[in-house]
Amino acid sequence: MSDDDKDDLANIYNSTTGLHIFTSIAFTCMVLLTWYLPTIYSNRSSYLATLVWAIILPLIVIFSGSYKLSLTGEDDFVILKILFLVFVILYLQMFVYTNVKKSNKFFNFKWLTNGLLGLIMVNILLAVVAQFDNRSDESEQIDNVINTWNPVIGLILVLCLGYIVVMGRKQDQFGVDNLRIYSRLGVWFVLAYSVWDTVFRYQLNQSTVVYLFFICTILIPAFLYYVSNGKIDYVQFRTYSLLFYLIVIIGVTPYGMNIFPAYNESGYNEAVENNSPITNILKNETFRYTGLGLAALTTVGAVVETYKGTKNWSMN
């Protein structure tokens, strides 16, 4: 390959990387402006946004069969995750409605808050089972290590949430401010959950889905959560953006698109994908072990934070 060809290929890689980052940010802003903000500021907008994002689009995905064309190759996991997220979002709406309507006598507030924590636990367990099962399909030692120990980290996070359910009081859990949910999950837990989830996605080795997943469902939700002091809730916003992410990636295929064709036509190319800077980083052994180490370290912080915080509140 000539130097000119190498330069041209490098330019393609760089432009594709930039496009994926830009598109990921744009998609996340779309979720923020057309779903999250309408949902928390107006009852009518809340119902309309939920109808479009959590019912109409998932139905299109299911009945079109486009989930079978996912780049991830995880057809059963993808459809199960979509159905679970739809259930969680409808549950969130019920949680908000029940708390706003103080006269509601059919739902106990403590039961609802514990239910939300339980749904997060189930969400983690779905990924734990999926990753643990991947061990039989991986030939490289590092993948076997990650697929063995990252699920263990996920189980520890589940235990943290279980501890809050058993030991905590209402202020340890969730609340509703008008139509906005706020969760009191600590800084360390949010960080640990984010790193653990990123390591779970290592197995894809594909920059397209990793860009979108990391920016849309981890980086921006966590950033907005921190800079707004929890006014933009990590759990609520991430739930919306995660469903959006799944709907997008199942349309990104080497052969065509069912939904959001612009992303595929302008961004996906198998040769570029396999040789992009981010894909190469994802395959780097040091990088993968570092991510697993950070997941373990932040989880230790989450354990300490959960125990101290819940213990202190319980003693008050």
Give the pLDDT band (50/70/90) at residue 302: very high
Q: 32-41, 165-174, 185-194: lowest mean pLDDT where? A: 165-174
Bigger pLDDT: 30 vs 69: 30
Residue 84: pLDDT over 50: yes
- The whole-angstrom separation of Cα 46 and Cα 50 is 6
Residue 293: pLDDT over 60: yes
Percent of the chain predicted with pLDDT > 70: 71
Q: What integer best gives the mean pLDDT of the chain?
A: 76
DSSP label at residue 272: H
Report the pLDDT averaged over residues 293-301.
95
Bigger pLDDT: 43 vs 85: 85
Residue 14: pLDDT over 70: no
Give the pLDDT band (50/70/90) at residue 51: confident
β strands within the chain, DSSP E: 174-177, 180-183
Residue 270's pLDDT is what? 63
Residue 192's pLDDT is what? 93
DSSP 51-70: IIIIIIHHHHHHHHTGGGG-
Residue 124's pLDDT is what? 92
Bigger pLDDT: 57 vs 205: 57
Tens of pLDDT, residues 179-227: 778 777 788 898 899 899 888 877 666 666 677 788 888 888 888 888 8
Residue 37: pLDDT over 70: yes
Residue 288's pLDDT is what? 86
Residue 176's pLDDT is what? 79
Q: What residue type is 245 in one-letter code?
A: Y
Report the pLDDT averaged over residues 65-85.
71
Q: Name residue, tokens 């064709």.
A: 261
Bigger pLDDT: 167 vs 293: 293
Taken in order 254, 54, 62, 85, is the CA torsion positive or negative? positive
Helix axes 141-167, 285-315, angle to 10 degrees: 10
Nearest C-alpha neighbor of 15 from the set 243, 266, 286, 240: 266
DSSP 165-229: HHH--GGGSEEEETTEEEE---HHHHHHHHHHHHHHGGGG--HHHHHHHHIIIIIHHHHHHHHTT
Report the pLDDT averaged over residues 32-40.
85
Tens of pLDDT, residues 239-291: 888 888 877 766 555 555 444 433 443 445 666 666 677 777 777 888 888 99
